[in-house]
């Protein structure tokens, strides 16, 4: 179903994938997990490793799973915005997102992902920190995007990239 490739062999434009296609950030294990839609993040080189940076607001249920687990996944689904409508607007505290989206969880790796993904990036958590207002040299993003709930940045070392066969 999936084959493993190197992170450097991802042939698509990562900026387009994140900003236009969107992704699911998923963390947890068989006994409990959550996923959320994200359209912000980065991928590149950090600390001598291929890494991904995801941003998660503190009130998101997924953040609880990221804090409790060492791994998370980023997964991409093409133009299937139905998944993102559910995972971006509903909380896993209140609804079963897996059931509502019809996604099939896979626990083959160190963090869950879904069989319907076309690309999965498995990351080992390396750093979690909260953005600070004092760090913004340009205050425009603060006014435009925040009301005190600044994102956590989560940097993960990319351990595996899986693509649909």
CA 57 to chain centroid: 12
pLDDT of residue 117: 97
Q: What are the structural domain ranges in the chain?
A: 2-164
Q: Thinking of the domain 2-164, which architecture would CATH place it in?
A: Roll (2.30)
Radius of gyration of the chain from its Cα atoms, rounded to whole angstroms: 15
Tens place of pLDDT per residue across the chain (165 aa): 899 999 999 999 999 999 999 999 999 999 999 999 999 999 999 999 999 999 999 999 999 999 999 999 999 999 888 999 999 999 999 999 999 999 999 998 899 999 999 999 999 999 999 999 999 999 999 999 999 899 999 999 999 999 999
Block residue for tokens 């963390």: 27
Q: What is the pLDDT of residues 75-85, one digit of tens each?
A: 999 988 899 99
Q: What is the pLDDT of residues 115-144, one digit of tens each?
A: 999 999 999 999 999 999 999 999 999 999
- Provide the 3-class DSSP secondary structure of residue 134: helix
- Which residue blocks in the chain are alpha helix, DSSP H? 14-16, 61-68, 81-89, 97-101, 140-145
- The count of other CB atoms within 10 Å of the CB of residue 108 is 13
């Amino acid at each position: 179903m999936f084959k493993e490739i190197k992170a450097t062999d991802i042939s698509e434009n990562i900026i387009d994938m994140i900003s236009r296609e969107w992704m699911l950030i998923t963390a947890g294990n068989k006994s409990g997990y959550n996923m959320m839609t994200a359209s912000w993040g980065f991928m590149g080189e950090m600390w001598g490793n291929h890494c991904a940076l995801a941003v998660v607001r503190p009130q998101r249920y997924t953040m609880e799973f990221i804090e409790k687990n060492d791994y998370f996944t980023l997964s991409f689904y093409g133009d299937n915005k139905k998944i993102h409508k559910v995972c971006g607007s509903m909380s896993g505290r209140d609804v079963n997102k897996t059931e509502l989206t019809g996604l099939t969880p896979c626990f083959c790796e160190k963090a869950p992902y879904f069989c319907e993904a076309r690309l999965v990036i498995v990351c080992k958590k390396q750093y979690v920190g909260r953005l600070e207002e004092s760090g913004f040299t340009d205050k425009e993003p603060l006014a435009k995007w925040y009301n005190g709930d600044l994102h956590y940045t989560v940097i993960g070392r990319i351990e595996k990239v899986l693509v649909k066969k």
